[in-house]
Amino acid sequence: MKGLSEIKWEPFLLNASAPNLTQEIMRVLKENEILITEWAPIHLANLLKRWFWKDGAEANALDVWHKTCAYLYLPRLKDDQVFQRAIEAGAGSQDFFGLAQGKEDGRYLGFSFGQSAGIFLNSAILKVVLIRNM
């Protein structure tokens, strides 16, 4: 298939004598940026530009989160809190993206741009739409 390539495994050394093997694995993952524990909004905006804003000027935040969990070529975020913090940090700026609670009849509901906003990644409560900064 076009665009697909083989998965390449990359080995990393662990200190087998570490007192806590789980913590050692986390250390190696963080040091090699395999597991992201803090994510700046610029990285989210770049991800959106590259993969999600191709066919339009918006992306559903919950869908973006689910895809980062499922596709190997997308960044591995530690948890949804890392993702939410990146959205919240970007929402307060006019440099990255706007937010809306949804879209109805071509209009964004609860649109905000350059304003801090708390979000919830729960499709039943709030549909966050990440809107491209034109």
What one-character-per-residue DSSP string does the chain give? -TT------------TT-S-HHHHHHHHHHHTTSSBS---HHHHHHHIIIIISSSSSEEEHHHHHHHHHH-TTS--BSSHHHHHHHHHHHHTSSSSEEEESEEETTEEET-BSSS-------TTT---EEEE--
The pLDDT of residue 124: 40
The pLDDT of residue 131: 67
Q: Does some domain include residue 7?
A: no
> Which residue ranges of the chain lie beneath pLDDT 70?
1-4, 120-134
The pLDDT of residue 112: 83
Q: Does some domain include residue 86?
A: yes
The pLDDT of residue 125: 37
In which domain, by residue range, is 42 found? 38-132
The pLDDT of residue 120: 66
The pLDDT of residue 47: 93
**Rounded to an integer, what distance in angstroms lies between the CA atom of residue 26 and that of residue 108?**
40
pLDDT digits (tens, 9 = 90+) for 9-45: 889 999 989 999 999 998 999 899 888 999 999 999 9
